[in-house]
A and B are shown apart, each in its own frame.
Chain A
Amino acid sequence: MLSSSAYQILNILTPQHRCAFVRRFVRHIVLYLVLLVLVLQIPEMMLPYYWSIDQLNLKMEHIEEQAFRYDTYFFGSSLTHSQIQPILFDSLFQSTDSYNLGVNGMRPPESFYVVNHFLKHWPEQQQLKYVFLEVVDVKPMDSNNQHSLRIRGTMSLDKLWYNTRHYYHEKDFQSIFSSYKVFIYSVFKYQMLNDMKKYLLRGKSDKKENRLIQKIQQQKGFLAMRDRKGVKKNLGHQLVWDVLDNKRLLDELNKNSLLLNQGKIKGKINPIYIQELQSINKKVLKLGGQLILLIPSRLSQNTLSHVESLHEIPCINLSNPSQYPNFYKMEYCSNPGHLNHLGSLEYTSALVKNMQELNLK
């Protein structure tokens, strides 16, 4: 086949030739893009699955350094990270060596992504006892969080498939669109390569100098929320508390949680969410462990309905205000959404009590 320039010189470029050349050009571009995408995946292969989640990074690096010696893990959001004290849990429950893997803002499907990868990398020779998974609602994929490195770094085909099915059931097409957008960004490592490079180049020594990180490690992944009393009014407008408003908000949370727990408000059930929890349960059982679902102190609407339909998985519900009124009192709270240090003692103790009542083998 002559080159297109040669055809032009000879002036014999027919529409068929032209189409053939355009097709050939497009074919080459597609081939190049495929190759580029494959090459782009190489740096990610050199990184751990949790590289883009800062808080999880330091916890997982510690666990790997300790060669997965802990047998019990807590997964969830800040409601886990700042409310479950593994040292207290172990001393009360007596048969575990636990670690808090909670990360601020880690809700499903991110927590599903993390748990699935964690179980995939679990060394089979190690004993796994309990995996606690905080169950809260899946948030819509809005425009604010789709630009974060964290959401791109944890995007995978599995997660995309989950998001598609989950949001389809919710008829949330905006979130499906956003998920695909994030997936494409993630495939092309858009605004990620530089961070990947930084991650690969960074040393680990600075951790020893960071007192906050040291504190988290000493407390086995737990860090209490700053106490409300410690916040001074003159520190800036963002830290000033409006006590009255805060109380009103707590009352409202209290009221809603009560209604939900009494079954007076029914949430919607998403079968995809149920299937995912069942799948995680199977994986944990395969490794000889036990999955326990944990409804935290702040309950979202659909969670209870989901858990109620999962009879095979044990569940602990710490969200009932009539059962745990302290979780809704000002002195136990750091802010309307989270408990303070005192609250976390109460919360962990309640968790242990529930565990003992469950009487799992």
Chain B
Amino acid sequence: MLFNSIEYILFLPLVFLLYWWIQKEKFKLQNLLILIASYVFYGWWDYRFLSLVIISTCLDYFIGLQLNQQQEKHIRKRWLLLSIIGNLSILVGFKYFNFFTDSFIALLSLFGMEADPITLNIILPIGISFYTFQTMSYTIDVYERRIKPTSSWVSFACYVAFFPQLVAGPIERARNLLPQFHKPRAFDYRQAIDGLRQILWGFFKKIVIADNLLIYYQHLYYEPGLHDGSFILFLCLMSSIMIYADFSGYSDIAIGSARLFGFKLQQNFAFPFFSRTMTEFWKRWHKSLFGWLLYYVYRPLQGNKENRSESKTRRNLLIIFILSGFWHGAAWGFIIWGILHSLILILERIMEWDKKIVGFPEKYKKLPHTKDMLGFIYTSSIFFSIGIFFNDIPMFRFIEIIQDIFIGILNNPLEQINHLGMSQVEMALVFLYLGFMFLMEWFNRNHLHGLEQIHHNKVIRWSIYLLLSLSIIEYFGTAKTFVYYQF
């Protein structure tokens, strides 16, 4: 089920009413309802792939219990390995199998050897990367004795399959989300209202901004030689904003929906375009994934303080960014995307920007400082330039796009905007919405989402809600899938 569909708009209030109709003291019944709702939510897309979620749940639930019972380190390690291999096998089998076989065949052909292609037509189950990382975090935490395993299968299944964040995150660590299923939830009016505001903001970003900018993203990867270099760069910029609006919009809807049920999910995007360095940017972009990678990969690789060195840190940065790229998709484009970002971060470390620029842009200032502005332009430029590689197209197409950038790079990109087939009025309206989005996010940069603080005047506040709702309804209906569903 897509968030931006009629089905979800009917599904959410129905589950909400049933959920709070059940007495607070019977929170286990509420958990059961959430589990059923989550499986319906996931099965709406393809019920057959529910089996993968259930297998992953059962595997880690059982291993979690075993890890608790066993005291001997080597046996516990075996159980952990079993969990990791089990989860990664599912992930590799469904997501990376074709990539590995294709790459292997390409490698053989380099040495003049031929192999029969054995690529299978495997459908990628949506959200597989998200829930696999989530279940793995549970077993690792139990192994490390950071948390105790849960004895309730329903609670654990809810943690894995909680519908607001099942298919595209935020990737919650067991330590944060699982205990919330173990205690009664109280309805918090203010949280629920703010949750609704966050959902509204998420819909605005997804339906009004991202869906309208999708055409820029599609044009970027059209046939070579079609656009001037300046226009390709413009497309890159708009595509980056599209990806941001799409994914952060999804996260806002997910977090907002969870808040309606009394759950607190972690913030996934902290207004990354207001970052002054790429180091800061990666602390604000897809926080749940990078938090996961830092916690479960980077830190163990870094080891003790005594053994740390700058070269080791740089190597580890490279590793986590390659992993991040690979997590996003089984294609060389994503891996290059990860490598390039890690190189930028290493460069910033060398120049010590990561130490010089800390903290958020000044909290109480209405307009950003010139220095901050330059920083925003720098991070956005880096992000949208490297963003070219954020696609699973073949390598030679990236080379063609890069070649095209240097042809007509000084031409006015706006002159070619009619290539997109949008009227000038429509285009102007989209840019107006875009400006509004960044303005709201700037004023709310110290809050959870772009609509948290609007205006103390009720009439102005409700007028903004109504205008946002109208703009959403205007573009609603052509339910386009979320970009991050494919990951």
Binding site for B on A (CB under 8 A): 3-5, 8, 13, 15, 18, 21-22, 24-26, 28-29, 32, 35-36, 39-40, 188-191, 193-194, 197, 201
Are the C-beta atoms of B466 and A190 separated by less than 8 Å?
no
Task: Evaluate whether A190 and B191 lie within 8 angstroms (CB atoms) in the complex, with A8-B186, A22-B20, A35-B462 already known.
Answer: no
Are the C-beta atoms of A25 and B189 separated by less than 8 Å?
yes
Give every chain A residue within 8 A of B474 (Cβ-Cβ): 193-194, 197
Are the C-beta atoms of B189 and A190 separated by less than 8 Å?
no
Are the C-beta atoms of B186 and A190 separated by less than 8 Å?
no
Report B445-487 residues with CB < 8 Å from chain A CB: 462, 465-466, 469-470, 473-478
Closest 8 CB pairs of A and B: A191-B477, A4-B189, A193-B474, A21-B189, A4-B188, A22-B20, A18-B187, A194-B474
Are the C-beta atoms of B476 and A191 separated by less than 8 Å?
yes
* Closest chain B residue, CB of each to CB of A29: B196
Contact with A along B181-205 (1 / 0, CB 8 A): 0000011111111001000000000
Are the C-beta atoms of A189 and B473 separated by less than 8 Å?
yes
* Closest chain B residue, CB of each to CB of A188: B473
Give every chain B residue within 8 A of A8 (Cβ-Cβ): 186, 188
What separation, in Å, do the CA atoms of A24 and B477 have in the docked complex? 30
Give every chain A residue within 8 A of B24 (Cβ-Cβ): 15, 18
Give every chain B residue within 8 A of A39 (Cβ-Cβ): 466, 470
Give every chain A residue within 8 A of B188 (Cβ-Cβ): 4-5, 8, 21
* Closest chain A residue, CB of each to CB of B477: A191
Are the C-beta atoms of A193 and B473 separated by less than 8 Å?
yes
Considering only CB atoms and an 8 Å cut-off, how many residues of chain B contact the other chain? 26
What separation, in Å, do the CA atoms of A188 and B469 have in the docked complex? 11
Task: Evaluate whether A25 and B192 lie within 8 angstroms (CB atoms) in the complex, with A4-B187, A18-B187, A190-B477 already known.
Answer: yes
Task: Evaluate whether A40 and B473 lie within 8 angstroms (CB atoms) in the complex, with A15-B24, A32-B465, A201-B425 already known.
Answer: yes
Contact with A along B98-137 (1 / 0, CB 8 A): 0000000000000000000000000000000000000000
The distance from the CB of B190 to the nearest CB of chain A, in whole angstroms, is: 5
What separation, in Å, do the CA atoms of A15 and B20 have in the docked complex? 11
Q: Is B23 interfacial (CB-CB < 8 Å)?
A: yes
Known pairs A8-B186, A40-B470. 5 more at Cβ < 8 A?
A8-B188, A21-B188, A22-B20, A36-B470, A190-B477
Give every chain B residue within 8 A of A32 (Cβ-Cβ): 462, 465
Task: Evaluate whether A5 and B191 lie within 8 angstroms (CB atoms) in the complex, with A13-B186, A18-B24, A193-B470 already known.
Answer: yes
What separation, in Å, do the CA atoms of A25 and B190 have in the docked complex? 9
The distance from the CB of A318 to the nearest CB of chain B, in whole angstroms, is: 42
What separation, in Å, do the CA atoms of A225 and B247 have in the docked complex? 51
CB < 8 Å: which of A28, A36, A188 contacts B193?
A28
* Closest chain A residue, CB of each to CB of B465: A32
The distance from the CB of A188 to the nearest CB of chain B, in whole angstroms, is: 6
Some 23 contacts from A to B, beta carbons below 8 A apart, are: A3-B190, A4-B186, A4-B187, A4-B188, A4-B189, A5-B191, A18-B186, A18-B187, A21-B187, A21-B188, A24-B189, A25-B192, A25-B193, A28-B193, A29-B196, A32-B462, A36-B466, A189-B473, A190-B476, A193-B474, A194-B474, A194-B475, A201-B425
